[in-house]
Structure 1
Amino acid sequence: MDRRVYGAEPSERDPGPKPGRAYVELVGGPLDGMLLDVTGWPPQEVVDGAVLMSEHGAFGPGGRSGYEPAEAVAGAGGVGRFVWRGDVP
């Protein structure tokens, strides 16, 4: 199965990762298995994690899912993991 990047349109011919980009893997929750493009993110934003729109979370369309780093993500250059911490409205 090809990996899908969060935010890619379902109609995109190739919604997978692109060369030269930095990604973290989303683990758990409604976005489990997707990749999040963190290319160009300042290091502090990577450490802070992300709250992402998710139609399949506990709050349905318009809800968000919170993800935090599971491990050090070396300056966002290496592939790390963001672990699901819960959904918010």
Structure 2
Amino acid sequence: MDELIRRRVYGADHDDPDPGPRPGHEYRELVGGPLDGLLLDVTGWTRTRLGEGAALGTEIGSYGPGGRTLYGPRAADSRLWDWEGDTP
């Protein structure tokens, strides 16, 4: 967990003085693509939901504002979510 302390959480405001992970929350690291290196807060997600991955809104993906970028759990380590592409 120590290596997560200085990391930014997806969805945190850019001007947030503390955009890092919060105690008691569960996170997945996003790997590759436009959100590479960010943490996704998955606190309270069901096992089924975690297995589905996520389509996350971002302005910096292939489709610009309004687009989404897709991430899914890595088979060998479900704490890491790999980029699977972008969608409008």
State the secondary structure of the residue aligned to 2:81.
Answer: strand
Q: Does 1:38 align with 2:51?
A: no
* Higher normalized contact order (CA 8 Å, seq sep 6+, divided by chain length): 1
Matched with 1:85 is 84
For residue 70 of structure 1, the aligned residue among 71, 74, 77 is 74
- 2:33 partner letter: G
Runs (4+) of structure 1 moved beyond 6 Å?
none
Partner Cα separation in structure 2 for residue 24 and residue 67 of structure 1: 10
- 1:43 partner letter: R
Partner Cα separation in structure 2 for residue 63 and residue 29 of structure 1: 13
TM-superposed deviation, 1:11: 1.3
Instruction: Provide the aligned C-alpha RMSD in A.
Output: 1.4
Once the two structures are superposed, residues 22-77 of structure 1 have per-residue CA deviations (whole angstroms, 9 ceiling, x without a partner) of 0000000000000000000011010000000011000001100000101353xxxx
Matched with 2:51 is 47
- Give the gaps of 5 or more residues in structure 2: 1-5
Matched with 2:22 is 18
TM-score w.r.t. length of structure 1:
0.88
Partner Cα separation in structure 2 for residue 9 and residue 43 of structure 1: 28
TM-score w.r.t. length of structure 2:
0.89
- 1:13 partner letter: P
State the secondary structure of the residue aligned to 2:34.
Answer: helix
